[in-house]
Structure 1
Amino acid sequence: MGTLALAAKITHVPSLYLSELPGPRHGTRQDAIDGHLEIGRRCRELGVDTLVVFDTHWLVNANYHINCGPHFKGVYTSNELPHFISNLPFECPGNPALGRLLAQSCNALGVETLAHDATTLNPEYGTLVPLRYMNPDQHFKVVSVSALCTGHYLNDSARLGWALRRAVEDHYDGTVAFLASGSLSHRFAQNGLAPEFAFKVWSPFLEMMDREVVDLWQRGDWARFCDMLPEYATKGHGEGFMHDTAMLLGALGWSAYQGQAEVVTPYFGASGTGQINAVFPVTPQDGRAIPAAQASAASAYQAFPRL
Structure 2
Amino acid sequence: MSKVFRLPAPGGTHGRRPAPATTPSPSVPSSRGRAGIVAGYLSPHPPHLVYAENPPQNEPRSEGGWETLRWAYDRLRRRIKEVHRPDTLIVHAPHWITMVGHHVNCAPNPKGVSVEPIFPHLFRYHYDFRTDVPLAEAIADEAEGLGLVTSRMRDPDVRVDYATIGALHMVNPDWDIPVVSLSANNNPYFYSDASLGDMEVLGEATRRAVERTGRRAVLLGSNSLSHLHWHEEPELPEDMEREHPYNNHQYRWDMKLLEAIRRGPTAPLKELISEHIEATASETKAGSLTWLLAAMGWPRVPGDVLGYGTIIGTGNAVVEWTPEEDHHG
Is the TM value for this pair above 0.5? yes
Matched, 1:250 2:288: no
Structure 1 residues 32-181: aligned runs within 5 Å: 32-45=69-82, 46-85=84-123, 87-147=124-184, 149-151=186-188, 152-169=194-211, 171-181=212-222
Q: Secondary structure at the match of 2:129?
A: strand
User: Could you tell which deviates more after superposition, 131-140 or 195-204?
Assistant: 195-204
Number of aligned residue pairs: 279
Partner of 1:185: 226
Q: Secondary structure at the match of 2:230?
A: coil
Q: In the alignment, which of 208, 230, 243 is matched to residue 274 of structure 2? A: 230
Q: In the alignment, which of 20, 23, 29 is matched to residue 53 of structure 2? A: 20
In 1, distance between residues paired with 2:241 and 2:99? 31
Letter in 2 for 1:17: V
User: Structure 1 unaligned runs (5+)?
Assistant: 285-307
TM-score (norm. length: structure 2): 0.77
Aligned residues of 1:67 and 1:99 also touching (Cα < 8 A): yes
Aligned residues of 1:260 and 1:281 also touching (Cα < 8 A): no
Aligned residues of 2:245 and 2:251 also touching (Cα < 8 A): yes
User: Could you tell which deviates more after superposition, 145-154 or 21-30?
Assistant: 21-30
TM-score (norm. length: structure 1): 0.82
Letter in 1 for 2:97: L
CA 1:39–1:28 in structure 2 vs 1: closer, same or farther (change >3 Å)? same
In 2, distance between residues paired with 1:77 and 1:30? 23
RMSD: 2.5
Aligned residues of 1:188 and 1:271 also touching (Cα < 8 A): yes
Q: Secondary structure at the match of 1:222?
A: coil
Kindly state the Cα deviation for residue 198 of structure 1 after the two structures are TM-superposed.
4.7
Per-residue CA distance 1:165-222 (angstroms, 9 max, x = gap): 12212x1122111100110011111346887985212110010000110000000043
Give % identity: 25
Per-residue CA distance 1:92-129 (angstroms, 9 max, x = gap): 11111111111101211223322223442232111211
Kindly state the Cα deviation for residue 240 of structure 1 after the two structures are TM-superposed.
5.5
